[in-house]
């Protein structure tokens, strides 16, 4: 699912000031790719490089499968920003596991 989120901190910029009366100013937007826990079972999912990824996991108890953790890390691997939204000990564990996996991949690729 794609979701648009508008950024309001910055004023709109027009590339062609001489035509600004003809071109409506559009505030900058960030494209956020949203996934939920069921998407973590489809290992073909991928987010575009440099995108923002939000993974909504809801309430997670203690158990998060290794394949879910790997799928979440894979989704996050090319993203510029990652948000894991949820509650419960499993959501925190998943966020920490994804951060560890991304750090391992980064260190491995730096060699």
**DSSP character string of 19-55:** GTTTS-----EEEEEEEEGGGGG-TT--PPTT-EEEE
> Stretch 1-29: mean pLDDT, rounded?
50
DSSP letter assigned to residue 81: E
Residue at token pair 């809801």 = 58
Residue 104 has pLDDT above 70, yes or no: yes
Contact 73, 94 (CB under 8 A): no
Q: Residue 64's pLDDT is what?
A: 82
pLDDT at 100 > cutoff 80:
yes
Give the pLDDT of residue 38: 83
């Amino acid at each position: 699912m794609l979701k648009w989120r508008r950024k309001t901190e910055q004023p709109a910029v027009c590339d062609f000031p001489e035509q600004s009366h003809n071109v409506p100013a559009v505030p900058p937007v960030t494209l956020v790719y949203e996934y939920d826990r069921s998407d973590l079972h489809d290992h073909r999912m991928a987010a575009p490089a440099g995108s923002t990824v939000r993974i909504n996991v809801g309430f997670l108890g203690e158990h998060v499968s290794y394949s879910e953790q790997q799928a979440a890390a894979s989704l996050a691997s090319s993203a510029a920003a990652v948000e894991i939204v949820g509650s419960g000990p499993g959501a925190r564990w998943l966020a920490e596991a994804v951060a560890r996996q991304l750090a391992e991949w980064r260190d491995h690729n730096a060699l």
